[in-house]
Structure 1
Amino acid sequence: MEGVMTVAGQSISNARGGEGGQVFHAVEAALLRQRGHLFPWVPVAMSVGIGGYFALRFEPTLAMLPLIALASVSLAFVAWRLRSGWAYLFIVALLVLAGFGLAMARAHLVAHPVLEWRYYGPVEGRVIGLDRSSSDKVRVTLDRVVLTRIPPAKTPDRIRVALHGQEGGAALTPAPGARVIVTANLSPPGGPVEPGGFDFQRHSWFLRLGGVGYARTPILMIEPPDGALMLRLRMALSQRVQAVLPGETGAFAAAIMTGDRSGMGLGTIKALRTSNLAHLLAISGLHMGLLVGFVFAAVRVLLNLIPPLGLRLPVKKIAAVIALVAAMGYLALSGGSISTERAFVMVSVMLLAVVVDRRAISLRSVALAAVIVLVLRPEALLGPGFQMSFAATVALVAVFRWLSGLPRYEGPAWVRGAATVVISSAVAGAATAPFAAAHFNQLSEFGLVANLLSVPLMGVLVMPALVLAAMLMPFGLDWIGLQLAGSGLNWILGVAHLVAGWEGTRGAVPSPDWRVLPLLTIGALMVVLWQGRLRVIGVLPVAVAFGLWALTSRPDLLIADNGGLVGVLRPEGRALSKARGSGFVAQNWLENDGDPVGQPEAASRWLASELPLRLRHVTGKKTVANLTCDPGEMIVANADGPEDLPCEVFDIKRLRQTGAVAGYFAQDGKLRLIFARELTGNRLWTR
């Protein structure tokens, strides 16, 4: 430790006495001016370390964790002894190391068996999750899994099966906690559908999903529900709500109250997404904030209406504690998804700040919430929920802090309230728009209009009515609150379908280069968090980020990792080799291109266009087994082809090694290929 301190001290002394002394003092002075405003940078530094871990193409050995701990202690000691502006840089290094170590430890803590091959046969397990797949089928998550011919040590902890053979609606939906059996096709979680795309393997690793698939036969219950009490309560409440409010309105109310979206139709979900109202469907910061705000205000008003209590008790703190209990109940009832956990952490920090007489809403409280989320779930950093939630919150706090310094408006209160709603929606929409566009490849042109027509109603009618329904449910009078909420939800659904039907509502956006979001985030945080004139430097990385996005080029060639689909970029858009099959891959390719067309239309381009390379897509085991080709051709096949062909072949055998393939034409006309497994590397979730 002393040696480290000595080296650090000598380096700083040399810098002070050298030619760069003035620069040294200027940097140190700039750091010291940030004193008192540095805590919001803590989650930023941690995020750099977490992002660094996930960006690696190899898996660090566990032996690195003690080294990281030792290095962190050394950096903390140096920072403590320096007692100058430069100590902050050592603290930043410490936080980066801490983030890296947290992500690494978390990845090993959730380690679990993953299927090593495709499996077809009986699948037995306990129901612990119910939702809907992208094909609008009921999807069940099972634990305590038993698979024929697979030993327990290699059996996944959890699997997820889409029930394509389950007809008859909710009556045949498996009961939460029940032990069931079904004949299913399972496979390991797949990698990115294209190099650099969303990594479902990594996502599944942290969900402890070791296999995914589908079943075309009905699912059968072999034991009655046992355990999974909260899930059973959620589903019972969901069924009760949908019994009182039938149709999409009831399904919407159930999703808000319990997180159960299994009753929502794809058409409604699509309308909500297109109109930028999908955030009303997910239990996130808005719902938690509205619930807590209503309970806090209601308790405070009720206590103040009783003078002996209002005058003698700390009403504000009591209201905060009761609101926190309500938030805990909402978290447990909603299933505790990552987005709900994040929202709970944020409102908990706010309410506890009220209890200890601190400012409830500030950048420090937002930063504390981010630190807690990153410590508990470092992988959340990579998800759109974390990024959009904290982007909106930081932007709102910063903007309203700036507005608070302006002369106070003395006009009618309703004007001030309306302006607050407009400003909040505009700021939150602008802050989250780049992240939504990057992750979901769309911008809602009229999203602000839809939110202005819907969000206020959510706060003043829907959430209070749902709280009332929950309070009246033990007495059988919940229909009163549900009917009130239903009227508001009908309005919101009407707005969603109306706005989604307007021409030009949905703007398609191509996926950006991987550097865009980090640059954009760092630049925006520099503008918001840094104190002083140097904050304008943050505009530069933001401008560079948007420039890179505008110059992003999509692959000229894409090959699916199972050889089932090929896509070639043409002037009119991507041409696909098949009009049906591999629908999930096709949808993702077209969305990433920013090309809002269906697979059949994209397939017609293949038939009508002359492809820019000698490429053939061959399907069927028998056809592929007898395959022949000429030198200079490229063959893509969905089965194992013959050995030693004179052309370049991407068959199943090779695609198992490469994963999905992307190709870019160079200026000399040669095709440069990039393989998904080169980018994902040898990680815990790819082995």
Structure 2
Amino acid sequence: MSVYPVRSAGASMGLLNHFSAIMRHQRGHLFGWVPVCLAMGIGWFFSLPVEPSLPVLWGVALAVAGLGGIARALPESVSPFAIAVALILLGLLLAAFRAHSMTAPVLGWRYYGAVEGRVVALDRSQSDAPRVTLDQVRLDRVPPTLTPTRVRVSLHSKTPGSIQPTPGMRVMTTAHLSPPAGPVEPGGFDFQRHAWFAGLGAVGYTRVPLLGIAPPIGGEAALVLFRLRMNASARVRQHLPGDVGGFAAAITTGDRSAISQEALQDLRSSNLAHLLAISGLHMGLLSAVVFGAMRLMLALHPVTATRWPSRSIAAGAALIAATGYLALSGGNVATERAYVMCAVALCALMIGRRAISLRAVAVAGIIVLALRPEALTGPGFQMSFAATTALVAVFGWMRDFDGTVIPQRLRPVVAVVISSAVAGFATAPISAAHFNTIAHYGLIANLLSVPLMGVLVIPAAVLAAMLAPLGMEGLPLWAMGLGLRWILAVSEAVSGLAGARSFVPGPGGWVLPLLALGFLWLLLWQGRLRWLGCPAMVLALTLWHGVVRPDILVADTGTLVGVMTSKGRALSKEKGAGFIARNWLENDGDGVDQAVAATRWKDIDASIIHLSGKRAAAAFSGCRLGDIVIASAEVDAAQQWGCPVFDPSRLRETGALALRKSPEGWQITTAREYAGARMWNTKPKRRAGRQ
């Protein structure tokens, strides 16, 4: 009888020893998991159905401290797991702190009246209208305690007399404002959360002229840099008109307001839109140009070449240039992320460490997540770190490869092909998940365009910036324009090819997290168990392939209804609610426009009734058992019809709707239920709070 416990104990000891050996093999490679654990905690915070209370957050903080102490007492093979749990909880705390720090008034009703404020940002809306962001806001008859800190207004006025807004100018107009809208469908993009972290308390539009009531004021550093950016953008566009100038302004100052929608669409269809964003590619190329030029200059003199730490000096100069580029570009989230990654690499060079390594990428990820936890949910963060991590890992694996197989002259070409293919492969699922498109010829377009960015466009931009104070920027800008014309020509040609892009439906909520964990496990884990990441990625793609879109979608205002048919989603209107219609069709993986989708409405099931406007609601006589009525105007006689009715007052409580048909009837999911009760979607005070 006593032999069985011995065998059991021996087997247990064998498993423990095997586990300890596996964990010892990870020694020195666990740091890369730090930002992964932080990201898991941040994602957990954003997925919570209710806002965690202050006592709960204090309890989480105590748990983090306790786990940190416990980890020291645990065996070396087990302590990393305690640290991982602590980091996950710390990520949740970071996200909670950031969310609470962004607390500001949000408009609680639809407002029409005078709007006054100071211009702090200029851009263009998706409808290509100029758009201004204002701070120091004043609204008619709205007390300061209820006035949003920032509002964003699209300028649709075609009446002469509207002024051209400039940074710091105090302006006024008469505008329609409303609170930031919720998701266009349950589980869709949460603009309320995005607006909360952007500091926007209201958004809207105006159809009357914008009037200037005070010249540019305010000497804050942000406004000074804003003016510098806009002046630089205007100067670039003086030398390079049209889309070329808009492209040049976008990659030098971050101002995209001068590039046309047609050029933007071509860049997106050819997978070259990433060249517009000041991201890791631009920051890395600029730093590399400055670093290389400085090292070349120091190598020209024997003293500086042999006695000075030329590499550290060149890295310091590149860091200064990157910092200036960050300031000039406006410092948005994508550029900040790129700057952090670049700064980590340059600082590593300055102290004699390897600049490009997974540890450096991990440090950059930790810094970005600590400063802006909300960036985790955006495509920019996900695509940037996916591409960088994949490139560093792949080229790290290739260090042991016998390079003599590839001729010396072909190595740069091979490096460009491999880097473009790896970055494209790593970012393609993320891009498809967020933008619902796949550019089939993106690799070709990037191979024809990205090298030119490095050898002509960015060096010319650096030279133009150096000569601009002397008024001699014309020649380098001309050279820069040659490269950008080529890139625009490539994007137009590639996007015009048959089958240049296809559309895919949006994935379920678990697809991207599971895909990311499988991808990171494959790259970060050491040993044969790393291949367990492949089944996780396959499972994620399988879940994506099997996604089923809702049978019916209803806008939160009742102005638009979308019903799935055998030909695709049918829309109840061919015009109006264009943003909602575009998002629904994109999430379906449907490439048609709203007008085409509206022609399918005649094929829908008659049990879905959409009453558009007050007249339609007044003329409606009644419904049958099983019908569902969606009304865009308030309905007084809803109780007499004997069927479910969703009018604006009810939809304000539920948000957008998704309906699925089952044998038991309609299963209704509301955007409010899906998003939960969070601080960014909590209903603000209503009109009763006005004075």
User: Normalized against structure 2, the TM-score is what?
Assistant: 0.95
Alpha carbon RMSD of aligned pairs, Å? 1.5
Code of the aligned partner of 1:326? A
The alignment of Structure 1 onto Structure 2 pairs a total of residues equal to: 668
**Aligned match for 1:385, one of 366, 380, 384:** 380
**Aligned match for 1:653, one of 649, 652, 659:** 649
Determine helix, strand or coil for the equivalent of 1:116: coil
**Displacement of 1:430:** 0.5
Code of the aligned partner of 2:268? R
Tell me which moved more, 623-632 or 573-582: 623-632
**Displacement of 1:84:** 1.6
1:318 is aligned to 2:309? no
Query: Pairwise mapping of residues 274-289 of structure 1 onto structure 2 (< 5 A)?
Result: 274-289=269-284
**Displacement of 1:174:** 0.5
**Displacement of 1:20:** 4.5
Query: Pairwise mapping of residues 658-677 of structure 1 onto structure 2 (< 5 A)?
Result: 658-666=654-662, 668=663, 670-677=665-672
The equivalent residue for 1:208 is 199
Code of the aligned partner of 1:190? A
The equivalent residue for 1:594 is 589
* Distance in 1 between residues matched to 2:521 and 2:18, nearest whole Å: 18
The equivalent residue for 1:115 is 107
The equivalent residue for 2:169 is 178
**Aligned match for 2:609, one of 610, 616, 621:** 616
The equivalent residue for 2:524 is 529
* Structure 2 unpaired stretches of 5+: 1-7, 683-691
Q: Against the structure 1 CA distance between its residues 310 and 519, is the aligned structure 2 distance closer, same or farther, given a 3 Å change threshold? A: same
Q: Does the 8 Å contact 1:132/1:138 carry over to 2?
A: yes
The equivalent residue for 1:565 is 560
Determine helix, strand or coil for the equivalent of 1:542: helix
**Displacement of 1:404:** 1.1
**Aligned match for 2:601, one of 584, 600, 606:** 606
**Displacement of 1:624:** 2.5
The equivalent residue for 2:303 is 308
**Displacement of 1:446:** 0.2
Code of the aligned partner of 1:620? G
Q: Does the 8 Å contact 1:166/1:219 carry over to 2?
A: no
1:152 is aligned to 2:144? yes
Code of the aligned partner of 1:239? A
**Displacement of 1:17:** 6.3
* Distance in 1 between residues matched to 2:423 and 2:510, nearest whole Å: 23
The equivalent residue for 1:640 is 634
Query: Pairwise mapping of residues 625-636 of structure 1 onto structure 2 (< 5 A)?
Result: 625=618, 627-630=620-623, 631-636=625-630
**Displacement of 1:412:** 3.9
The equivalent residue for 2:443 is 448
The equivalent residue for 1:135 is 127
* Distance in 2 between residues matched to 1:37 and 1:342, nearest whole Å: 23
Identity of aligned residues (%): 54
Q: Does the 8 Å contact 2:163/2:212 carry over to 1?
A: no
**Displacement of 1:72:** 1.0
The equivalent residue for 1:58 is 50
* Distance in 1 between residues matched to 2:9 and 2:86, nearest whole Å: 27
Q: Against the structure 1 CA distance between its residues 354 and 167, is the aligned structure 2 distance closer, same or farther, given a 3 Å change threshold? A: farther
Deviation digits for residues 84-143 of structure 1 (CA, Å, limit 9, x no counterpart): 210011000110010000000100000111011100111100101011101000011111
Determine helix, strand or coil for the equivalent of 1:39: coil
Q: Does the 8 Å contact 1:339/1:385 carry over to 2?
A: yes
1:47 is aligned to 2:23? no
1:347 is aligned to 2:342? yes
1:104 is aligned to 2:99? no
* Distance in 1 between residues matched to 2:380 and 2:179, nearest whole Å: 25
Query: Pairwise mapping of residues 380-419 of structure 1 onto structure 2 (< 5 A)?
Result: 380-409=375-404, 411-419=406-414
Q: Does the 8 Å contact 1:138/1:173 carry over to 2?
A: no
Deviation digits for residues 277-329 of structure 1 (CA, Å, limit 9, x no counterpart): 00000100000000000000000011111212111100000000010000000
**Displacement of 1:81:** 1.9
Deviation digits for residues 346-394 of structure 1 (CA, Å, limit 9, x no counterpart): 0000000011111100000000000000000000000000000000001
Q: Does the 8 Å contact 2:123/2:257 carry over to 1?
A: yes
Code of the aligned partner of 1:436? S
The equivalent residue for 2:225 is 230
Q: Does the 8 Å contact 1:295/1:323 carry over to 2?
A: yes
* Distance in 2 between residues matched to 1:27 and 1:47, nearest whole Å: 26
Code of the aligned partner of 2:121? G
Code of the aligned partner of 1:548? L
The equivalent residue for 2:472 is 477
Q: Does the 8 Å contact 1:627/1:641 carry over to 2?
A: no
* Distance in 2 between residues matched to 1:627 and 1:685, nearest whole Å: 37
Tell me which moved more, 355-364 or 433-442: 355-364
**Displacement of 1:173:** 2.8
The equivalent residue for 1:514 is 509
Q: Against the structure 1 CA distance between its residues 167 and 239, is the aligned structure 2 distance closer, same or farther, given a 3 Å change threshold? A: farther
Deviation digits for residues 384-442 of structure 1 (CA, Å, limit 9, x no counterpart): 00000000001101111111111122654330000000001000000000000000000
**Displacement of 1:637:** 0.7
Determine helix, strand or coil for the equivalent of 2:557: coil
Code of the aligned partner of 1:200? F
Code of the aligned partner of 2:170? R
* Distance in 2 between residues matched to 1:650 and 1:205, nearest whole Å: 28
* Distance in 2 between residues matched to 1:446 and 1:173, nearest whole Å: 40
